[in-house]
Structures are given as structure tokens and as C-alpha cells.
Amino acid sequence: MQRICLFPGTFDPLTLGHVDIITRALPLFDKIVVGIGINTSKAPMFSAEKRLSWLKEIFKNQPTVEGAVYEGLTVNFCRTINAKFILRGIRYVSDFEYEKTIADANRTLDKSIETIFLTGEPKYTSVASTIVRDIIKNGGDASHFLPPEVANSL
């Protein structure tokens, strides 16, 4: 049985912190599906198609990483793609508290799906999509926080 993992998020935009988590998770799973979740309560800066294209470009030489766009409950999407693991990145203790609440809810919905937490590299702890979007909206240089494939397309 393949170890398939879903790394869900909005990835608006995809940052160096996201790439770090995906890259470090590669040896742990047979396949990582980066799920770009459509959250109806959020108005993204970049289209889901754009975010997906960045992901495909960044990981074009890594056949075990795939991208997908999904709506609805994460555990339902896990069932669709046969993922038994959900990957989440943790930067701060406050991230863990929030992510643990979601993991507990997901475990209640489906006990066969386990959430795995990876802590981010210290150099990426200040990298958050919210901050990056604010820098971009205000005409700042966000390239310090973004993979070249993303920064060069802005």
C-alpha cells in the first residue's frame, strides 16, 4: 500500500516555507499531493490555477509531488485520493495549538487518517502567506520569501 500524504492549504502564494515542508517530507511518503483548498470564506489574491501552476513548475522534476485543487472537507478529499496522512507545517507554538484542534476534528471524522506535523526551518518562521500578500499589495519586494518561480511571475 502506497503511503500517500495530503498537504492541504491555500498556498496564496506558495512560499519558501511551504517548499521547505514539502521537500523535507519527500523521504517520508511515496506520494505527496499538495491540495490547494478552496475556502469560500477567503478571497485569494491569486487564482487556484496560478497557484497550481507554480507548484507544478517548482516540483516539475519531482514525480512524487502532485498538485490538486479541492473543495470541502479535507478528510473527504483524503478519501478521494487514498491519502492516509495529512501533512501540516508548524512555525510557532500557536500554530500547533490551532493545527492540533483541526487534527482532532479530522481524527473524529476519520480515524484512519493521521496528521503529521513538521516544524519549519527557523529561517522560514517569519514566512507567512498573509505577510507576503501584504508586502505584494503594498508594492514591496517579497522575493526574499518566495521561490524564484513565484517571485519571477509577479
Q: Which residues pair with 35 in a beta bridge?
A: 8, 68
> Kindly report the CA angle at 151 between 29 and 132, in degrees rounded to 5?
85
Query: Can you state the angle between helices 74-81 and 93-109, rounded to 10 degrees?
Result: 60
48 grid coordinates: 487556484
Cα separation, 88 vs 114, in Å, equals 11
End-to-end CA distance of the chain: 40
- What is the Cα–Cα distance from 32 to 140, expressed in whole angstroms? 32
Report residue 140 CA to chain centroid gap: 24
- Rounded distance between C-alpha atoms, residue 22 and residue 51, angstroms: 15
Catalytic residues: 18, 42, 91, 129
